[in-house]
Structure 1
Amino acid sequence: MAVYRIPRPSLYVCIDVMAAPAGSFCPACGGKLKPDSRYCSGCGRAVVPAGGFPWRFRPWMVAPAVFLAVLLIVLPGFLYVWAGLPSTSNLSTARLPLSTRIYDRTGTILLAEIHQGSERRHIVRLNQVAPAMRQATVAVEDRTFYQHGGLNLLRTGQAGLEDLLHLRFNQGGSTITQQLVKNVYLSGDRSVLRKLDEAILAVEIEHQYSKAQILEAYLNRVFYGNRSYGVEAAAQTYFGKPASQLSLAEASFLAGLPQAPTELDPFTNPNGAKLRQRVVLAAMVKAHDISSAQAKSIAAQPLALQKPSTADDVKAPGFVHWVAAQLEKTYGPDLLENGGLTVVTSLDWNLQSIAERQVRAKVMALQGQHVTDGALVAIDPKTGAVLAMVGSAGANVPGGEYNMAVIPRQPGSAFKMFTYTAAIESGKFTMGSWVLDAPLHIQLSDGSSYTPNNYDGSYHGWQPLPHALGNSYNIPAVKVEMGTGIDRVVDVARRMGVETLNQPVTAYQPSLTLGGYEVPLIDMAAGASTLAAQGTYRHPQGILKIVAQNGATLYRFDPGKGRPALTPQVSFIMSDMLSNDNNRALAFGRNSDLVIPGHHVAAKTGTTNDFRDNLTVGFTPNLAVAVWVGNADHTPMQHVSGIVGAAPIFHGFMTEALNPQPDSWYSVPDGLHVVNMNGYTAYLLPGTEQVSQTQQPPPPSCDEDCSGGNGGSSEGRHKKHG
C-alpha cells in the first residue's frame, strides 16, 4: 500500500487500512518492513497512524452525506427561524385596531368615527365587498392568486433578479398572501431573512385559511391613503358609501391606490390616480373580468369624490361627544378607540339638522346684542330618546368647544315649572288658587332678608295661579314655593330629572324657584319630557344599540315603562296651564313665539340676572324641547330675555319639527274636578276644592282697582324673570 508524506513530518496517511505490502520500508527509520506488518520492527512506529482514514471513498456516499448535512444543519436552522415566527391563528384580528363608528337612529348616517390616532379602520365580510372590488384587486395585485399556494416563484424570481442587478430590495413580486403577511406579522425592513420569514408565513397561511378568508383579511387591512385602512373605510372616505355599493368605476379606482397611496392621493393628485385606474382596468381585461370596451368606457367616466374630511370631521359634535363619554365610561378607552364597535344612537338626523340651523341663524341675528352661543335638546317623551342635541352655535363661536347642552347654567324662571308642579301635587295650591303679587320680604335662617322683585319692577295685585305662572311673576312664584315648602320643590325637581340638585335640602334658598341654582339644559328637557309623558320620567338616552366587531350585540335599549314621577292628573294640570296663551298674554302679548300655529304646545321661558342666560322649555305629547341662549364665558347679553333670545329658536324648531304631524293633546284624566273660578276653567285634584275656595281674592271695594291689575307700588328692580 502506498504511503504519502504530508508536510507535517510525523503524520502519515494511508488510504486503505491494510498491512504493509512486501518490500516496504519504514518511512521513519528506513528499516525494511515485514510483510503484513502494521508496525516497524526497528523503531516500533505504526505504519498507518491512528488518525488515518478508515474507509475508502465511494460515489454512492454523496446522497447520504448531503441528507445528513440537511438533517443536522439546514433543518435545525429552518426550525429555529420557524419557531421565532408569530402565530397565524388570529389572521382576522391580529394587530388590528378598529375604529368605532357612531350612527344616527337609522344606522345609515355616519356621525363620527372614534379611533386611536388618526387612522380609520373597519372590518367587513367578503360578501359585503362589491364583486367588482374583489376582481379589480386580484387582477392588479396578484393575477394568479387563486392558483398559487402563497408564493408566485416566477414573479418573485423576476423581482429578485431586478433587486440583485440594482443591488437593492425594492421590487414587488409579492403575492396578496405575502402582502398580507407583511401587513399583519412582519416589520417593514427588506432583509433576506425577512423575505424568508414572509415566504414561510405565506405558505403556512395558505394551508390554514381559504382564499376567501385571505382576500377578506387583505381588503380589511390594506392602506388606501387619507387615514383609511381597509376597503370599507376607503369607500366611505372617497365616495361616502359602503364597500358593498361600489360601482365598477369606483372599485377600479380604489384598487389602484394601495400601490402608492400618498403619491396617488385622489384629492391632491387626481390625474395620477386616474392613470393608475387605467392600469387596473387593463389588468381586469387581461384577467377576462371585463371587456376592452367596458374598460374604455369606465376610464372615460369622471368620478365624483366626496369632499376631503379632517380628523375632527364629526356630525352633531355635542351629541357625539356626549355619547362617546358614556361609551368610554362603560367599556373603557381601549375598546372605544380600538374595538371596532358599531353604535346606533337615538339621534334623528332630520331634527338635528333643523336644530343646528335654527340655533345658528338666531344666534347670528342676535350678535348685535352680544349673543354668541346657543344650545338645544329635544327628547322623545315616550322613550327618553334624545332626538337632537346642539351643544353650541358652531365650532368657531366663542366657547364653541363646550357642549352647553350638558353644562349646568342658571335656568331662570323656567325652573318655576318644578315649583308649580310641586305646589299642585302637594294640594296646598290648586289651579283655582289666587296669589297676591305685592312686596315680599323673607327672613332667612342666617338673619339676612330676601326680597324678590318682578321683571318689570311692578306689582300686579291678585293673580290666578295660571296667570302668575304664565306671566312669570317672581313674587307669586316665591310665595307658592314657600307655601309648598322648598323641600317639596327640590324633591319634585329631582323626580322629574334634575340631577344637579344634590345638596341637602336645607342648603337651598328661596331663590331656587327663580333659577338661582345651576341646572344642565338636558335636565330641563328631561323635566319637560316628564310632564309630556303624563308624569313618567325616562332618563335621557342617546344609545339604541351597540354591536361588537364580531357581530355580537353588547347592548340594546329597552325603553321599558319608565319611572313614575307624577300622577297623570298633576301633569295634565301643569300642561294645561303652560299651554294656554291667555295665561301669558299680559307679559308676552298674544301669539308670541311660544305659540306654534296649528299645534297645542306647552312652554315656559326663563331669564337670569343681568341677562347672562335665557331659556325656553316646552313640549307636546310627542316632543320635549329645551333651548338656551347666552355666552359661554358668562358675560351678560344686552337686554335679551327668554322671549327674545331662546323663544325664537324654540318657535322655529317646533314649527318645522311638528309641521308634518297632526295636532295632538291630552284628554282629561279621570279623577279631576272641573270648576269655574272667577271666569276661567280650573282642573282640581280630588279633595282640594276647599283649598281653592280659601285662596280667592277679596271682593274689590270702591277705593280699590277693581280690575285686579296693578295692585301695588311699581317700585322695585328686576331680578329674575322668564
Structure 2
Amino acid sequence: MPSTLPILRARRERRLNQQNKHSNRQRGFVLSIGIVISILLGVVIILAAFAYADITQDLPSTEILPRLFNPPDGLLLQPTRIYDRTGLQLLATFSPNESPRRYIPIGEQNSQHIPQTLINAVIAVTDPQFNRHSGYALDELDNPDSHPTIAQKLVYDFLLYNEPSSTKRAIRERILAAQITAQFGRTQILEWYLNAANFGNHAYGVEAAAQIYFGKPVEQLTLAESAILAAVIETPALNPLDAESVALQRGREVLYVMNQLRLASNEATAIALAETPIIQPAPQTQPIIAPAFVNLVLSQIESQIPRERLQRGGITIITTLDYQLQKQATCTTEVYAIRLAGLAESNNNCDSARLLPSLPPATTFPDSSASAIIIDPTTGQVLALVGETNQGIETPLMSSHQAGSSLDAFVYLTGFTRGLSPASLTWDIPNENNYQNFDAEFHGPMRLRTALLNDYQVPVEILKNQMGVENVIDIASSFGIDINDDISLMDVASVYGVFATQGVHFGQNVNDEFVPVSVLRVEGVDKSVMLDWSIPQAQTVITPAMSYVMTHVLSDDAERATTFDVHRPAGIKVGETFDGKDAWVVGYTPYYVVGTWSGIHTLTSPLQGGEEGGNPEDFLLCCGMRWCKLHHKINLRMVGLLR
C-alpha cells in the first residue's frame, strides 16, 4: 500500500498553486487598476496644467494699477482729452472741469482723507465681506458680468475691460483679484477703487463726486451724504443731479443696510435719516467744439475701447479734424440755418458767411436743419463735420435721411459698366409708368450726360428698368450703400469720394463696416499707443477708367441748367426728394469731398409754398449756394490764402 505522505504533499502543492494563481490574478487586477488610475490622474494633471496655462496666458501685469492711480503721476489723474489733428486744439474733455483729478488717501493721519463713514457705506453696498475674503468670491462664477467683490470690480474695470464676457474671463478675474489683494493689501485696493469709481456726470473718484453733488471736500461729507454716494456707485445714472428723489431714497436704503451690518450705530443712523442733504445745482457744462464730430469719434473708438474706459481718463485722442476748416464749415452752416429760418443774424465773425449770397425772396423754412461734411478722399479722413443745425444751433445729430436722387449716379454707373456711354440717347417724355420730374415738365430727347447732370427723374427710372434694379443694387452695395435705405451725409460724401481717387475707397473697417475715419490715434498720457488708424485701408471698387467717366460727366458744368461757379473742375451731384423735404449737394476734387444736406421737419410739404415757406427749387438752390462757399474756402486753403 503506497504511503499517504506523497499524496498529501501533492494535494498541498496543488492547493498552494491554486492560491498563488488566484493571488497573482488579484495582484494583476489591482496593478492594472492602479496603472489606469495613474494614467487618468496624469492626464487630468496635464489637462489641468494646460487649462491653467490657457487661462493665465497673457494675464495683465498687476503693476499696471500703481501706474494708473498713484499720485502724482497716475495716468488716470488726467481726464481723457480729445484734440484736433495737430494735437494742439482741445475739442472736448471728460471731466467736470479742466483740472487734473485729486487723489484722496485713506487714513485720518492725512489732512485730506476719505472719511470712515464713506468707507463703511461703500463696503456695505458693494462688498459686505470685504474684510473677510481673499479678494474674490467663487459664487456667480457662471455669470461673467457679475463682479461681487471690490477687488474683482477693480480688476475688471482696469485690467480685463477689453476681454469678451466668458467663464474664462470670470476665472481670470478671480485669479487677478487674489493676486492684487495679496500683493497690495485690502486698504490699498479700497483706496484705488474709491478714487476711480464712476459717480455719473463724468465724476470719477470720491473727491469729484463730493464737489459736484454736495459742493464740499470729501472729508466733510456727512453720513447721509456718504450713503447717497455709495448708492450712486452701484448705478451711476441714478445720481443726485439726474434723479434726485431716487438718489435720496436709495441713500436712505443704504443707511438701513449699514445699520443692519453694524457699520453705523442706531443713533448715527437716526440722525442721518432725519437729515436732508442739499444737492448742488448742475455745473455749467464745458462747451464741446464740433459736437457731431466728437460723437462720431467716440462711436468709432468704442469698437476697440469701451466708452466707460475712455471716460475714466488717462487717454489722449488725436482726431482727423482740421480745426480751421471746421470753424468755417460750422459758421457757414449756422448762418445759413439762421437765414433759412428767417431769423436775424448774430454771427458777424464768419468769413465764409459773408461770401454766402442772400437767399431768394420769401425763402424761409422755419423748421429746417442743415449739416455739412468735408472728407479727404485720399485717406478717408473726416476733416470737418457739422451736425444738424436748426435755427443757428448745432446739435450732435447726424441722422440718416431719404436719399432721393442723390444716389442716381449709381444707376448711370450701372449703365456705363454695361456698354452705355455718357453720349447715349435717352428720352424724357410722358410714359406709361407715369414717371415725373421734379419740375413736373418733360425735356425731350437728350444724352445720358445731360439727364444725370440736371437730375431728371424720367430718364433715370427708364435706365433703372433697362439695367435691372438688382444690378443697380449690386453696384451700389460694392460701394457699401443700399439705395433703398435712408443714408447719412457721411456715407453720401464717402461713396462719391471713390470717383475722386480713381475707383479706390479709402477708410477703416469699423464694426464690420468700411467707413470714413475720424481718429488718427489713441494713446495714454504716457504716450503708449492704444489705437493707430493713421494709415488708411484701401478697397478697389471700380476701375480707374470708369471712375474717369463718372468724373468727366459730373464735372461738366456747362450741361447743367443751374451752374456751380467753383473756379476749378469739380464733380458735383445734387439730389432732392419729391416731397421737397431733403436737399443734397455733394462734390469732389482729387483732394476734398464736400457734402451738404438741408431738410425740413414739418409734415406739411413745402411744395405748396405760402407764408411759411419757399418752393423746393429755392430750397435746393440754397443748399447749393452753401456748398459753393464751403468749396470756395477749400480752394483758398489749397493756395494758402486761408489762415
* Length-normalised TM-score, structure 1: 0.48
The amino acid that maps onto 1:572 is: Y
Matched with 1:441 is 432
Deviations 1:123-157 (A, max 9, x none): 89xxxxxxxxxxxxxxxxxxxxxxxxxxxxxxxxx
1:468 is paired with a residue whose SS is: helix
Counterpart of 2:371 (choices 362, 369, 375) is: 375
2:327 pairs with 1:350: no
1:595 is paired with a residue whose SS is: coil
Greater alpha carbon shift after TM alignment, 326-335 vs 338-347:
326-335
The amino acid that maps onto 2:550 is: M
Matched with 1:465 is 448
Q: Distance in 1 between matches of 2:109 and 2:365?
A: 58
Residues 394, 454 of structure 1: CA spacing in aligned structure 2 closer, same or farther, 3 A cutoff? closer
- 8 Å CA contact 2:318, 2:519 repeated in 1: yes
Q: Distance in 1 between matches of 2:460 and 2:523?
A: 48
Matched with 2:494 is 526
Counterpart of 1:91 (choices 59, 70, 75) is: 70
2:302 pairs with 1:323: no
Matched with 1:111 is 91
Matched with 2:579 is 610
The amino acid that maps onto 1:388 is: A
Residues 94, 109 of structure 1: CA spacing in aligned structure 2 closer, same or farther, 3 A cutoff? closer
Deviations 1:684-722 (A, max 9, x none): xxxxxxxxxxxxxxxxxxxxxxxxxxxxxxxxxxxxxxx
- 8 Å CA contact 2:389, 2:395 repeated in 1: no
Residue 454 of structure 1 and its aligned partner are, at CA, apart by 1.0
The amino acid that maps onto 2:365 is: H
Map residues 150-299 of structure 1 onto 2, 5 A cutoff. none
Residues 97, 465 of structure 1: CA spacing in aligned structure 2 closer, same or farther, 3 A cutoff? same
Residue 537 of structure 1 and its aligned partner are, at CA, apart by 1.1
Matched with 1:595 is 565
Deviations 1:191-240 (A, max 9, x none): xxxxxxxxxxxxxxxxxxxxxxxxxx9xx99xxxx99999xx9xxxxxxx
- 8 Å CA contact 1:103, 1:345 repeated in 2: yes
Residue 518 of structure 1 and its aligned partner are, at CA, apart by 1.4
Counterpart of 2:519 (choices 540, 543, 559) is: 543
- 8 Å CA contact 2:380, 2:536 repeated in 1: no
Residue 660 of structure 1 and its aligned partner are, at CA, apart by 3.5
Q: Distance in 2 between matches of 1:383 and 1:529?
A: 10
2:552 is paired with a residue whose SS is: helix
Question: Please, which runs of 5 or more residues in structure 2 have no aligned partner?
Answer: 1-64, 120-191, 209-216, 220-282, 343-363, 507-514, 607-612
The amino acid that maps onto 2:486 is: E
Q: Distance in 2 between matches of 1:633 and 1:312?
A: 32
Matched with 2:631 is 654
- 8 Å CA contact 1:630, 1:636 repeated in 2: no
The amino acid that maps onto 1:315 is: I
Q: Distance in 1 between matches of 2:556 and 2:429?
A: 24
Identity of aligned residues (%): 27
Which structure's CA Rg is the greater one?
1
- 8 Å CA contact 2:291, 2:396 repeated in 1: no
Q: Distance in 2 between matches of 1:537 and 1:434?
A: 31
- 8 Å CA contact 2:334, 2:391 repeated in 1: no
The amino acid that maps onto 1:465 is: L
2:334 pairs with 1:363: no
- 8 Å CA contact 1:612, 1:630 repeated in 2: yes
Residues 362, 330 of structure 1: CA spacing in aligned structure 2 closer, same or farther, 3 A cutoff? same
* Length-normalised TM-score, structure 2: 0.54
Q: Distance in 2 between matches of 1:181 and 1:95?
A: 22
Residues 416, 619 of structure 1: CA spacing in aligned structure 2 closer, same or farther, 3 A cutoff? same
2:527 is paired with a residue whose SS is: coil
**Count of matched residue pairs:** 389
Residue 520 of structure 1 and its aligned partner are, at CA, apart by 1.1
2:414 pairs with 1:414: no
2:538 pairs with 1:562: yes
Q: Distance in 2 between matches of 1:362 and 1:436?
A: 37
Deviations 1:248-274 (A, max 9, x none): xxxxxxxxxx9x9xxxxxxxxxxxxxx
Matched with 2:273 is none
1:626 is paired with a residue whose SS is: strand
Residue 395 of structure 1 and its aligned partner are, at CA, apart by 8.6
How large is the RMSD of aligned CA atoms in angstroms?
4.0
Residues 94, 561 of structure 1: CA spacing in aligned structure 2 closer, same or farther, 3 A cutoff? closer
Matched with 1:426 is 418
Residue 635 of structure 1 and its aligned partner are, at CA, apart by 5.6
2:436 is paired with a residue whose SS is: coil
- 8 Å CA contact 2:295, 2:396 repeated in 1: no
Q: Distance in 1 between matches of 2:426 and 2:83?
A: 50
Counterpart of 1:489 (choices 472, 497, 500) is: 472
Question: Please, which runs of 5 or more residues in structure 1 have no aligned partner?
Answer: 1-86, 125-173, 191-216, 234-257, 261-308, 443-450, 502-511, 664-722
Q: Distance in 1 between matches of 2:519 and 2:79?
A: 17
Q: Distance in 2 between matches of 1:324 and 1:330?
A: 10
